[in-house]
A and B are shown apart, each in its own frame.
Chain A
C-alpha cells in the first residue's frame, strides 16, 4: 500500500525508470488494493492476468532503455470503450456478454504508449446518468462521505467508476467520456482532476456511442500534470472518426507554468444559481480572489442562454441516443429475448435489455424526432444550440477563460434523486453548456463543503486551448491546497 497511496503518474514513471520498483510490483500492488476495495464497486471487469503479463514486458523494455511515454503505468478504462478481447458492457444488460473484436482508437493509443489496463470501470448504463446508479451492475460508491455517516454517497456519473478508482488509489489514472458533464461532475464529487477536451480532439471510434455530436473522451487523474500526460497519449487525428480534427498536438505538459498573470477570467453571472449551495458560492468567491492574487484580471460576463442549455440538451442527446441505440436488436450481438416474430424479438429484447433511464431517453428521443414534433422540439433545440455557441464565441473575444463551479452541490446519498429524473438532470446545469459548444473544460478539486465533501472549480477554454486550461488549473491546484484526508472506511 505504501508504494501506491497518493502516487501520481509522473512519480510512478520516475520510480520505474530509476528501478525503485518494477512495473510488475506496481501492478500487483494495485491488484491487492482493488481486491480489498470491492465495496466501492468501481470495476465491472478485471484484467489482472493480462496486466501482469504486460507489466513483465514493460519491465523488459525499461531494462533495455526502450521505455515508451507511459511504460508500465497501470490505468483504468471506462467500460464504454471497446477493448479487443475484453468484455465491454456499457454497464448494460444489453451488452453483458459482448467481447469486442476490435480496439477503440483511444485505448489503442494508450496501449501503444505502454500503459497497462487493470480493468473496465463502472458507469451509468450507456453513460446516461449523473450518479452511477443506473448501472446494471449496481452503483459504484464514492470513497468520500461525511464522517460518522451511515449512508453511502454517489460518485457522480456517468464516469463514476473511473473517478472512484482514481480517488481510492485503485489505478494511477483513468479514462472517461463526457457528453454533458460525465467526466467533470464525478471528478468534482470524488476530489480528482477531470478534463473534457475540445470536441474533435479525441477520436470517438470504438466508444459505445451515446450522443455523437457531444461525446468526448478525456483523462481523470490525481493531479493536473497527470491529466496533461494522459491526455497527450489519447488525442490525435483519426480518419476513422469523421469529426476527428487534424490539428497539431502540443506537448500539454510543457504548458504547465502555474502562472495566470495578465490572463482575463470571465465570470458568467448566469452561473450564479439559486440552486447552488452557499458553500459552492463562497468557494467561487474565494477563487475570484485567488485570480486577483495571481495577477489575473476579472471580467464580468453574460452568457444569456445558459438556462436553456440543459433543456435543449435533453432534446438533442436523447434524439441522438435513440438513433445510436437502435443497433441493439438482439440479432448480431448482445442480449436477446426470443419472440414469435422478428418484430416481437426486437421488442422483447429491447424491453428487457435496457434499464429505465435508457428507455426513458430512447422514448424522449423517438418522440422529439417523430413526425409532427421534429420542428417544434429537435430543430428548436438545435437553434438554441446555435445561440449557446454564439454566446461563448462573443465572450471569448474579451476573455481567455471562463471560471465557474463544476456542480451546484457536492455528492448526495445513494437513492436521494434516482426517482426524480429532472432533479437528477440538474446536476449537469453548469457542465452541459461546454458540451453544447464543443469547448474544452477542466474540473479540479478546489475545497470542501460543510459536510467535508469535495467541491470543484471548472474552467472552460477556447476551442483547442487545453494547454491554457492545464496551466490555469495548475495555478489553482497550488493555491487551493486541496487535502485528501478521507478515511479508508471501505477497506476489507
Chain B
C-alpha cells in the first residue's frame, strides 16, 4: 500500500526521528515501494494459522530478584552525554 507524506510525518513523530523536507519526501517514496512489495503477502490464506512470535517453545522461567552486580555507577555514567551528582541530565520537563 502506498503511504503519503502525512503518514510518514506521523510515524516519524511516533518514532521520535526528526526528518528534514527532502528526507521526508524520499522516505515517503521508499516506504511506499517497500510496502507495495510487501502487499504480496495478502495472497496467502492465513485464516486458520496462528501467529508465531518466536521459535522457542519453552515457557519463560522465573528467577529470584537478586543483585548480581553493583557499584558500577561510574562505569555507567561515563557513557552519558551529561550527568551531575550521579544523575543523567535532560532539558527541564516541569515548569
Contact = CB atoms under 8 A, between A and B. Distances in A.
Q: How large is the interface on A (under 10, 10 to 19, 20 to 34, 35 or more residues)?
A: 35 or more
A99 B79 contact: yes
Nearest to A348: B18
A340 B33 CA distance: 35
29 contacts: A97-B79, A242-B60, A243-B54, A245-B58, A308-B41, A331-B88, A331-B90, A336-B82, A338-B91, A340-B91, A341-B91, A342-B91, A342-B93, A347-B18, A351-B19, A359-B27, A363-B31, A366-B11, A367-B7, A367-B31, A380-B42, A382-B52, A383-B46, A383-B49, A386-B49, A387-B46, A389-B52, A422-B37, A438-B55
B56 A332 contact: no
Contacts of A331: 80-81, 88, 90
A383 B34 contact: no
Interface in B31-79: 31, 33-35, 37-38, 40-42, 44, 46, 49-56, 58, 60-61, 63, 69, 72, 75-76, 78-79
Contact of A333 (B15, B20, B79): B79
A322 B56 contact: no
B51 A382 contact: yes
A389 B55 contact: yes
A350 B16 contact: yes
B79 A332 contact: yes
Nearest to B40: A311
A334 B81 CA distance: 7
Contacts of A363: 8, 11-12, 15, 17, 27, 31
A345 B90 contact: yes
Nearest to B74: A101
A127 interface: no
Contacts of A438: 54-56
Given A314-B38, A347-B18, A243 B27 contact: no
A213 B53 contact: yes
A315 interface: yes
Nearest to B17: A350
Task: Please name the 4 residue pairs, one residue from A and one from B, whose CB atoms are nearest each other, closest first.
Answer: A438-B55, A351-B18, A382-B51, A333-B79
B46 A354 contact: no
